[in-house]
Structure 1
Amino acid sequence: MTMPSAPISVEERFENLLISPERAIKLLGKRMPGEISFEQSEQGDARRQLLHVEKVAIENKRLQALSEASYIDSVSHYLHEVVLSELTEQLSFPDELFSNVLNLGDDTGTLLDALSVRAASISKLEPLAASQPWLYDELIQVVNTPQFRRRDSKGRTIVVETLRTALSFLGIENLRLLIPSLVVKRAMPQITDPFPCIKLKLTQYSQGTAVTAKHIAPLYKVRAHDAFAFGMLSQLGRCAIIRLYFKLFDKVHLHLLQESQRDKERQRHEALLKIAPSANYLIALQEEFADKVAADMLEHMMLKRLFLGNAMRNCADNLPAEQGSLHNILEQARTYTKVRMLHSTKLVSIADVKPVFKAQNYPERALEKLKSVDIFTLPMSKEEEFS
C-alpha cells in the first residue's frame, strides 16, 4: 500500500523558491506557463503506441541509466563530504569569514553603531564611511539617481562627487535604511550558477524581512531602526553559506577532476563532468548553519549600541522567542516575507497561510497594516536633511 505523501510545508516551498522558482513550481507539481502535460503531448500519444520490443529496449535503457545515476550519486556524495568538511572548518574562523568571504571591513560595526544613536550626525559618520572605500562608490551611485538628484538655481543637475555631500543629501534617516542594506549587498553571493536567481530572491527576502520588521516593531514599542537593521543583517549568514558553498564546490570539483585525470579513472572523470552544484545540499547547509553564522558575524562586529548579537544567537539556538522581543519580531517578519514571496508566484493558498500566520501570533491589525506596504522596496524619503 502506498502511503500518501506529506504536504509540502510553506518553509520547504520558500527554501526551494530561494534557489530556483522553477524548482519550487515543480515541487508542487505545477506546470510552467505555456507548458502542457505529458498526457496532452504528441510524445504521450506515441508512447501509448509503442511496440512490445520498443518497450523492452526502453526498460533496459532505464535500468542502465539507474545504474549510472547510482554511481554519479556516489561520486557527488563524496564530493559534498569534502565540501562540508572544508566549509565547517572555515566557519570556525569568524574573523576570516567576515573579511575574506563577506568582504566587509573592521569598521562596519562601528559605523552601524554610530547610525543607531539618536545623536547621529554626518560629521561623525563621514570618517567611518570613508574607511570603507566600497561604500563611497555605492553612496555616490545612489545619491546621483533621479530619486535624490538636485538642481542648482539655474536648473542644472548637481552631480555629487564627495562623500560628505552624498551623506548630507541622503540624510540620517535614509542612511539608517541604506547602509545596512548596502552592507548586505556587499556580502551577497555574485556567481551562483546553475541557480542565477539566488541573488535576486535573497535580496527580496532581505529587504522584505527588514521592512516588515520595521513596521511590526513599533507595535511592540521597539525601535523601528533596530528591527530593520536586525532583519537586514540576519541575512549575513545565508550570504556567507551560499558564497562558501559555490566557492568550495568549484575548488573541490576541479581538484577531483584533475585527480581522476591523473589517475586515468575515466568513469569517475565522466561522472564528475555530470555533477553540478546541488540545490538539496545548498538548502540543507543554509538550514543547518545560516543563523549560527549570522550570530557569529554580529558578535564579531562587537556592536556596543545596536544590541543584536544576543537576539540572533537566541534565534540560532532555536530558543523560545519572548513576545515583542527582537527575536520574535524577526520570526514574524521572516514568516510574513516568505508568504508574500510565495504568494507572488502563486505557490501558496489562503488555506496554506492561515495556520502559519496563526502560529506567529502577530500583534492586532499588524497583518492588515502590512497588506498595504511595499515590503520589497526600501522606504527612503525624498525629503532633504542636513546635518
Structure 2
Amino acid sequence: MTQISNIQDIFTQRYDAFFLDVRAAQANLQNPDKPILSGVDLEQSLTSRSLLRVEKQAIREKDLNQKHNINYLNENLAKINIKVEERLTEELKDIENVYRKVVGIEDTIPQLLDLLNVKAATTSRIETLAMELPWFYQDLLKLVNQPKYRRTDSNGKIIHVDSLRAALNRFGIENLNPVVLSLAFRRWLPQITDPYPQIKNRIWDEALATSIVSRKLASLHKIDENFAFSLGMLSLLGTIVVVRLYFRLFDVIQREALIEAQNEQQHELHAALSRLVPAGDFLNQLLDKFALPMSAELISKMDMKRVFIANAMNEVVSNETEISPLALLLKQARGYSRYRLLKQYGLVNMQEAKDYVRTLRLPNGALTLLKTTDIRTLNLQFIANTPNN
C-alpha cells in the first residue's frame, strides 16, 4: 500500500502532466526515470540527437554550446514568467473585469440558474429570460437535435426541433439546470493555448466529470442535485481564468521584451526571446495557487439567491477541517473525477487506483454507484410529460 501523502503527490503530478498533453503524460509514465523536458529542452534534445553523426570533438563542442543556450533560454523564460505572475496577480484583483471580460459571464446565467431552482418555474418564464442570451437559442437547438436526443413520430420520421419553446419542453425543466450551465461553460472555455492545444478539452472533461460525479454523490449526502452539479462545474471557473490570463499575458510580455531587445540592439537576447513558448509546468503552478480561490470569488460574484453553493466553495478553498456536506462532496467529486480521467487514458494502475480512492473517504455505496457512471455525457433522464407553460 502506498502512503497517503505519496499517492496524492503521484496523482497530482500525473494529473498536471495529463492536463497539458495526454501523449506526453503517457510517454512519461512509460519512462519514469527520464527527466521531463520543457519546450526549450525538448527542442535542444532533438538537435542533440541529430548531431550523433558528426565527429566526437564537434559533438562535445556542440553540447557545451547547447547547454549554454538552454540555460540562457530558461533564464529568460523564468524572467518572463515572473512578470506574467506579477501582472496576473494584479488582474485577478479586478473581479469585475475578470467576471465580465476575461470569462464573459452574463447576468442572465445566474438569473436562469436561480429560476430553474424555483418550484414554480415554467417553460414560458424560462424562455423569456433565455431570450436575453443571443447565443442560447442556436446552441440549444444544436444540442436538442443531436441523435441521442431526437424523437421520431409514429411513422419513424425524425422530429426536428426548430423553436426555443419546443427545445425547452423537449429537455424538460428537470434537465435544464445542467443543460443551461453546460452550454454556458463551453462558451467560457479558452480557445488559444498553444503549444498545449488540448488544455480546453481537459478543462471541459474535468468540469463535466466533476459535475456529473457531484450530482451522483448528492443523494448519498442528501444534497440537492442541482446544487451539487452547479458547484462541480463552476469550481473550474478559476481554471478558465488563470489559463486565459497566462497565455494572453505571456504573449504581451514576450512582445514587450522583444521590442526592448530590438531597440537596444541585443541580438542574442532577441533571438532567445523569439524562441520562448509558454511553460506548462509554470502554468500548473499558477493554477495550484490561484484557480480555486478565483472560482470561489466568481461564484460569490454571481450572487445567486437560490443556488446555495458559494459558502461550500469558500470552505474548500480555506481547507477547513470541519466542512459542510456540500463542500465535502465537492472535494470527493474532484478527486474521483481526476482519478477516472487518468484511468481513462491508462495513466494509473490498479494498485495506485485502490490506494488513491481510499484517501477520498467516499460514502458507503458510492463506488458501486460511480463505477458504472459515464463521466463523458450529461446522462439526461427524459420522462413523458406535457409542456409546462
C-alpha displacement of 1:155: 6.0
Q: Residues 110-160 of structure 1, C-alpha deviation per residue, up to 9 Å, x if partnerless?
A: 111111233332122122211221222211211222233345677654443
1:63 aligned partner: 64
Q: Quick check: 1:285 aligned with 2:289? A: no
2:315 aligned partner: 314
What secondary structure is seen at the aligned counterpart in 2 of 1:147?
helix
1:332 aligned partner: 332
Q: Residues 50-90 of structure 1, C-alpha deviation per residue, up to 9 Å, x if partnerless?
A: 89x94443233222111111111121111112211211111
| Stretch of structure 1 that moved more, 146-155 or 193-202 | 146-155
C-alpha displacement of 1:27: 3.2
Distance of 1:227 and 1:183 partners within structure 2:
17
Where does 1:31-46 land on structure 2 (aligned, <5 Å)? none
| Stretch of structure 1 that moved more, 351-360 or 263-272 | 351-360
Distance of 1:80 and 1:321 partners within structure 2:
36
Q: Residues 157-210 of structure 1, C-alpha deviation per residue, up to 9 Å, x if partnerless?
A: 444333222212221122121111122111111111111111222211111111
Distance of 2:138 and 2:258 partners within structure 1:
39
Distance of 2:88 and 2:266 partners within structure 1:
27
What secondary structure is seen at the aligned counterpart in 2 of 1:63?
helix
Distance of 2:60 and 2:148 partners within structure 1:
62
What secondary structure is seen at the aligned counterpart in 2 of 1:117?
coil
| Stretch of structure 1 that moved more, 223-232 or 292-301 | 223-232
Contact 2:172–2:382 (8 Å) recurs in 1: no
Distance of 1:238 and 1:92 partners within structure 2:
16
Where does 1:374-385 land on structure 2 (aligned, <5 Å)? 374-385=374-385
Cα separation, partners in 2 of 1:376 and 1:157, compared to 1, 3 Å: closer
C-alpha displacement of 1:383: 3.7
Where does 1:1-387 land on structure 2 (aligned, <5 Å)? 9-30=10-31, 54-151=55-152, 157-320=158-321, 322=323, 325-385=325-385, 386-387=387-388
Contact 1:321–1:328 (8 Å) recurs in 2: no
Which amino acid letter does the alignment assign opposite residue 245 of structure 2? Answer: L
Distance of 1:345 and 1:156 partners within structure 2:
38
What secondary structure is seen at the aligned counterpart in 2 of 1:378?
coil
2:43 aligned partner: none
Which amino acid letter does the alignment assign opposite residue 85 of structure 1? Answer: E
Contact 1:231–1:333 (8 Å) recurs in 2: yes
Give TM-score, length-normalised by structure 1.
Answer: 0.87
2:45 aligned partner: none
Which amino acid letter does the alignment assign opposite residue 91 of structure 1? Answer: L
Cα separation, partners in 2 of 1:161 and 1:79, compared to 1, 3 Å: same
Q: Sequence identity, in percent?
A: 34
C-alpha displacement of 1:368: 1.9
Distance of 1:9 and 1:376 partners within structure 2:
24
Which amino acid letter does the alignment assign opposite residue 89 of structure 2? Answer: T
Cα separation, partners in 2 of 1:154 and 1:377, compared to 1, 3 Å: closer
C-alpha displacement of 1:97: 0.8
Distance of 1:58 and 1:320 partners within structure 2:
57
Distance of 1:279 and 1:23 partners within structure 2:
12
Give TM-score, length-normalised by structure 2.
Answer: 0.87
Cα separation, partners in 2 of 1:253 and 1:307, compared to 1, 3 Å: same
Structure 1 consecutive aligned stretches of length 4 or more whose deviation exceeds 6 Å = none
Distance of 1:116 and 1:95 partners within structure 2:
25
Number of residue pairs the alignment of both structures matches: 363
Which amino acid letter does the alignment assign opposite residue 207 of structure 1? Answer: L
Distance of 1:119 and 1:360 partners within structure 2:
37
Distance of 2:309 and 2:366 partners within structure 1:
23
Distance of 2:351 and 2:23 partners within structure 1:
22
Distance of 1:157 and 1:372 partners within structure 2:
30
What secondary structure is seen at the aligned counterpart in 1 of 2:96?
helix
Contact 1:171–1:384 (8 Å) recurs in 2: no
What secondary structure is seen at the aligned counterpart in 1 of 2:210?
helix
C-alpha displacement of 1:315: 1.2
Distance of 2:285 and 2:158 partners within structure 1:
50
1:35 aligned partner: none
| Stretch of structure 1 that moved more, 160-169 or 340-349 | 160-169
